[in-house]
């Protein structure tokens, strides 16, 4: 009897299972109710009394060994099957997959370039809240009570009485800057703004602006022209020319629209410039004395200029993009075109 136990132990230790059929044969021989281990337990009654204790220990060791070996060979067989399936499903003749890197969004590229240009001219970057109250978004900027921008068809209102809105421009940052600090100021304010617009290729309910403010003693329109001139050359090329067209904004006086010479056709005429050789990029003007007064700054002592332009507008011109919606759709086919730009 003891010889049988030792024989089965040796057999279990040397056993190798390579297929599921062999695993089933192993289970039937050593684990099932009709296994050799069960037969030995049935013969336990025939063992002399003085050997029962020793034989019982040997039987339990054989039973435990059989169960351990079953777990080992089952696990090894499963791992072997998984490896075989993976190898079979993998075409080793295919080229390796490229380790593609992400790219910076074209709006971020454009914004960073704008910031870089103005920082070289001594401007710093200021930021402010996107949810704003009426004073900072309209009243302090000299908007009259009946101005269309104050109506719900143009502006997203969060609350009424008192009014809280999604800012329609980053000029609110200018007001907060002038209200909380003392001149001189030389800052730009890039950020997201919101308008109640129907979404189309040329308009969106949210977009990005960068505005600039310079307030100091004896600041004149010539300083504004030189600032815009250096920005245009840095953004669109050294051959770029600028022009100012008279316009109206509630918060600047005098006010002007900013045009740059078309850098696509270079005077030959194209669809972008509508055959005029000029492309509008933004608006600007001298800060209205009422705005300075609203912020606690003496307009008799200080003057300043402000300007604003759409980051999407500049990106569309720079990259010749014809649909504003592409910037917010996250289509990787579009975004991958700008890897390494600027």
Measured distance CA(173)–CA(142) in Å, rounded: 15
Cα dihedral 136, 142, 145, 146 sign: negative
148: pLDDT strictly greater than 90: no
Looking at 44, 59, 89, which one is the last position of a domain? 89
Residue 138 shares a structural domain with residue 283: yes
Residue 150 shares a structural domain with residue 69: no
Residue 60 shares a structural domain with residue 132: no
Residue 195 shares a structural domain with residue 306: yes
The answer as to whether 97 is a domain residue is no
Domain CATH for 156: 3.30.930.10
The answer as to whether 240 is a domain residue is yes
Q: Output 17 or 162, whichever has higher pLDDT.
A: 162
Residue 88 has a pLDDT of: 55
Residue 44 has a pLDDT of: 66
The answer as to whether 207 is a domain residue is yes
81: pLDDT strictly greater than 90: no
Burial (CB count within 10 angstroms: exposed 0-12, middle 13-18, buried 19+), residue 250: middle
Q: Output 94 or 211, whichever has higher pLDDT.
A: 211
115: pLDDT strictly greater than 70: yes
Residue 73 shares a structural domain with residue 128: no
Q: Which two tokens stand for residue 63?
A: 């039973």
Give the C-alpha distances (Å, rounded to integers) separating 233 from 147, 242, 309: 35, 9, 15
Most confident of 86-100, 135-149, 177-191: 177-191
- Domain holding 237, by residue range, is 106-338
The answer as to whether 215 is a domain residue is yes
Largest pairwise CA distance in the chain: 121
Looking at 64, 89, 114, which one is the last position of a domain? 89
Residue 36 has a pLDDT of: 72
The answer as to whether 77 is a domain residue is yes
The answer as to whether 94 is a domain residue is no
Q: What backbone phi and psi angles, to 5 degrees, belong to 246? A: -55, 140
Residue 190 has a pLDDT of: 96
The answer as to whether 276 is a domain residue is yes
Burial (CB count within 10 angstroms: exposed 0-12, middle 13-18, buried 19+), residue 90: exposed
pLDDT 10s digits, 245-261: 999 999 999 999 999 98
Residue 136 shares a structural domain with residue 83: no
Long-range contacts, 145-154 (Cβ 8 Å, 24+): 147/250, 152/196, 153/196, 154/195, 154/196
The answer as to whether 169 is a domain residue is yes
pTM for the structure as a whole: 0.68
Residue 67 shares a structural domain with residue 23: yes
Q: What backbone phi and psi angles, to 5 degrees, belong to 257? A: -90, 145
Most confident of 6-20, 262-276, 293-307, 317-331: 293-307
% residues pLDDT > 70 (the chain): 88
Residue 170 shares a structural domain with residue 38: no
Looking at 89, 123, 138, which one is the last position of a domain? 89
- What total of structural domains would you count in the chain? 2
Residue 58 shares a structural domain with residue 181: no
Half-sphere exposure of 339 (CA within 13 A, CB side): 8
Residue 114 shares a structural domain with residue 85: no
pLDDT 10s digits, 209-267: 999 999 999 999 999 999 999 999 999 888 889 999 999 999 999 999 999 988 777 77
Residue 70 shares a structural domain with residue 137: no
User: Where is average pLDDT lowest: 63-67, 153-157, 159-163, 178-182?
Assistant: 63-67
Residue 53 shares a structural domain with residue 166: no
Q: Which two tokens stand for residue 198?
A: 């129907």
pLDDT 10s digits, 14-55: 777 777 777 777 777 767 777 776 776 766 667 677 766 776
Q: Is the separation of the CB atoms in 261 and 269 below 8 Å?
A: no
Residue 2 has a pLDDT of: 63
Closest of 238, 216, 19 to residue 122, by C-alpha: 216
Residue 84 has a pLDDT of: 55
């Amino acid at each position: 009897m003891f010889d049988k136990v030792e024989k089965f132990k040796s057999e279990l230790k040397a056993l190798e299972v390579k297929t599921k059929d062999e695993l089933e044969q192993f289970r039937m021989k050593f684990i099932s109710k009709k296994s050799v281990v069960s037969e030995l337990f049935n013969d336990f009654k025939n063992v002399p009394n003085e050997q029962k204790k020793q034989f019982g220990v040997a039987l339990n060791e054989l039973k435990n060994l059989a169960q351990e070996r079953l777990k080992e060979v089952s696990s090894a067989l499963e791992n072997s099957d998984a490896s075989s399936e993976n190898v079979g499903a993998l075409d080793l003749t295919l080229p390796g997959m490229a380790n593609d890197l992400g790219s910076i969004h074209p709006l971020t590229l454009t914004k960073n370039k704008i910031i870089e240009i103005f920082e070289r001219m001594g401007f710093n970057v200021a930021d402010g809240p996107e949810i704003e109250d009426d004073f900072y978004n309209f009243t302090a900027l000299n908007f009259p009570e009946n101005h269309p921008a104050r109506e719900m068809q143009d502006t997203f209102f969060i609350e009424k009485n008192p009014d809280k809105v999604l800012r329609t421009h980053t000029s609110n940052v200018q007001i907060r800057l002038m209200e909380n600090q003392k001149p001189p100021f030389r800052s730009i304010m890039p950020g997201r703004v919101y308008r109640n617009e129907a979404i189309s290729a040329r308009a969106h309910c949210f977009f990005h602006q960068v505005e600039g403010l310079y307030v100091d003693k004896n600041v004149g329109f010539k300083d504004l022209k030189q600032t815009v001139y250096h920005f245009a050359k840095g953004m669109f090329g050294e051959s770029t020319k600028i022009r100012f067209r008279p316009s109206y904004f509630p918060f600047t006086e005098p006010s002007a629209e900013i045009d740059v010479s078309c850098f696509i056709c270079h005077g030959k005429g194209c669809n972008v410039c509508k055959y005029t050789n000029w492309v509008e990029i933004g608006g600007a003007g001298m800060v209205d004395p009422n705005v300075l007064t609203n912020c606690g700054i003496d307009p008799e002592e200080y003057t300043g200029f402000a300007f604003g332009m759409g980051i999407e507008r500049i990106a569309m011109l720079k990259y010749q993009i014809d649909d504003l919606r592409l910037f917010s759709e996250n289509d990787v086919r579009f975004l991958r075109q700008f890897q390494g730009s600027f």
